[in-house]
């Protein structure tokens, strides 16, 4: 068996087309959706992601504002910028690219973002709302994964879902979304005993560990759906410089029923959901402006 490929570029193009239509409608109402992106330091991977986000905004008709700070930036300076962006009614989404340099308290920075502009969904109150299955900004990567499952018609209700990784930005929100959608969820991590025992039971397996080609075909249940969240740049060997996921694609593809590639899988969907969250925020702003003109 060779797994069906769930193509994140194809799905992204379709969803971004719908987002561009909504952005155009908003712009015609005088509210062009606007995302502000803050990047601190010169990590080359972060610079690539931020550039991709800004380019994606432009292509879909969203405005983007980019603020770059040096690696040794004073946290107070970034906090002052956040306060300014929070207060600016023309800004609908704010993203602070992670990770931040060590002088920053990451939690404090994320909490300083206005709840209604937290398009990453990393603010503690958005996290709490998601855990209670209430309306919230949903973190972009796990949200993109849910869209991929939906587009591939993968049954989630009643499915055994296994997530490898317990991070705040992927593993934990992924567990909440799958739980809310009716899956039976197991979260595995570095301390899990007998990882393969769990992964071999999974109808849906989500790999978010940050180790290149960690999940191999022998860890996968035949016919399972495998979602690869990893983005690793290979350092050496014959594929040095190439991007690869947390899943060993070749051996996994021979066993799985459906699989996401890297690149061209979850990564582009992350950016797509960021655009969608920004448009949702702008739609709210347009509605309240029209309800209370002149404010
Ligand atoms: N506040 C915050 N929000 C984030 O959403 C966030 C972050 N910080 N820090 C870093 C991670 C990583 N991330 C990616 C987004 C797109 C691709 C992406 O488009 N990848 C392409 C390839 C890009 C390439 O060539 O390197 C692909 O998989 O096809 C990857 C990774 C968002 N992150």
Number of domains in the chain: 2
Kindly state whether residue 290 falls inside one of the protein's structural domains.
no
Residue 295: per-residue pLDDT: 58
Q: 82: domain CATH number? A: 3.40.50.10860
* Residue 94 in contact with ligand 1 by CB distance below 6 A: no
Is residue 5 in some structural domain? no
Predicted-complex ipTM score = 0.95
Count of residues in the chain: 295
The response to whether residue 47 sits with its C-beta less than 6 Å from ligand 1 reads: no
Which of 114, 132, 150 terminates a domain? The answer is 114
pLDDT of residue 1: 75
**Ligand 1 centroid, distance to 267 Cα (angstroms):** 5
Q: Are residues 178 and 252 in the same domain?
A: yes
- What's the confidence (pLDDT) of residue 291? 87
CATH code of the domain in which 161 resides: 3.40.50.720
Give the model's pLDDT for residue 290: 87
CA-closest residue to ligand 1 atom 17 = 267
* Cβ atoms of residues 117 and 100 within 8 Å: no
**Contacts of residue 122, Cβ cutoff 8 Å, sequence gap at least 6:** 110, 113, 139, 168, 169
For ligand 1, is residue 100 a contact (CB within 6 Å)?
no
93 lines ligand 1 (CB under 6 A): no
Please check whether residues 180 and 242 belong to one and the same domain: yes
Res 4: pLDDT: 98
Euclidean distance between CA atoms 163 and 192, whole angstroms: 12
- Residue 62 within any structural domain of the chain: yes
Ligand 1 proximity of 101 Cβ (cutoff 6 Å): no
**Mutate-to-test residue for ligand 1 from 10, 12, 49, highest number of ligand atoms within 8 A of CB:** 49
Residue with CA at minimum distance from ligand 1 atom 15 = 267
Q: Is 163 annotated as a binding residue?
A: no
For the chain, residues with pLDDT lower than 50 are none
Active-site residue set: 53, 97, 120
Q: How far apart are CA 82 and CA 126, in angstroms?
A: 18
Which atom of ligand 1 is closest in space to residue 8's alpha carbon? 29
Model pLDDT for residues 67-100, shown as the tens digit of each residue: 999 999 999 999 999 999 999 999 999 999 999 9
What single-letter DSSP state applies at residue 5? Answer: E
Whether 224 is covered by a domain: the verdict is: yes
Domain range enclosing 43? 30-114
Same-domain status, 70 and 152: no
Same domain assignment for residues 231 and 146 = yes
Ligand 1 centroid distance, CA of 120 (Å) = 12
């Amino acid at each position: 068996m060779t797994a069906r490929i769930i193509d994140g570029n194809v799905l992204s193009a379709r969803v971004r087309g719908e987002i561009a239509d909504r952005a155009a409608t908003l712009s015609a109402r005088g509210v062009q959706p606007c995302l502000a992106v803050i990047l601190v330091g010169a990590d080359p991977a972060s610079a690539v992601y931020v550039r991709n986000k800004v380019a994606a905004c432009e292509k879909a008709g969203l405005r983007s504002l980019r603020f770059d700070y040096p690696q040794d930036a004073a946290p107070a300076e970034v906090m002052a910028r956040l306060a300014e962006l929070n207060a600016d009614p023309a800004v609908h989404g704010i993203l602070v690219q992670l990770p931040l340099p060590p002088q920053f308290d990451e939690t404090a920075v994320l909490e300083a973002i206005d709840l209604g502009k937290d398009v990453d969904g990393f603010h503690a109150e958005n996290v709490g709302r998601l855990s209670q299955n209430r309306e919230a900004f949903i973190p972009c990567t796990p949200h993109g994964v849910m869209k991929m499952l939906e587009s591939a018609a993968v049954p989630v209700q009643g499915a055994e879902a296994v997530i490898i990784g317990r991070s705040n930005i992927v593993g934990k929100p992924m567990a909440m979304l799958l739980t809310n959608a009716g899956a039976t969820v197991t979260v595995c991590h570095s301390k899990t005993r007998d990882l393969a025992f769990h992964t071999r039971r999974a109808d849906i397996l989500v790999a978010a560990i940050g180790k290149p080609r960690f999940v191999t075909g022998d860890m996968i249940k035949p016919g399972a759906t495998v979602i690869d969240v990893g983005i690793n740049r290979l350092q050496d060997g014959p594929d040095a410089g190439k991007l690869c996921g947390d899943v060993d694609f070749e051996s996994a593809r021979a066993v799985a029923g459906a699989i996401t590639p890297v690149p061209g899988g979850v990564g582009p969907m992350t950016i797509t959901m960021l655009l969608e969250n920004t448009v949702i925020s702008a739609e709210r702003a347009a509605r309240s402006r029209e309800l209370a003109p002149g404010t």
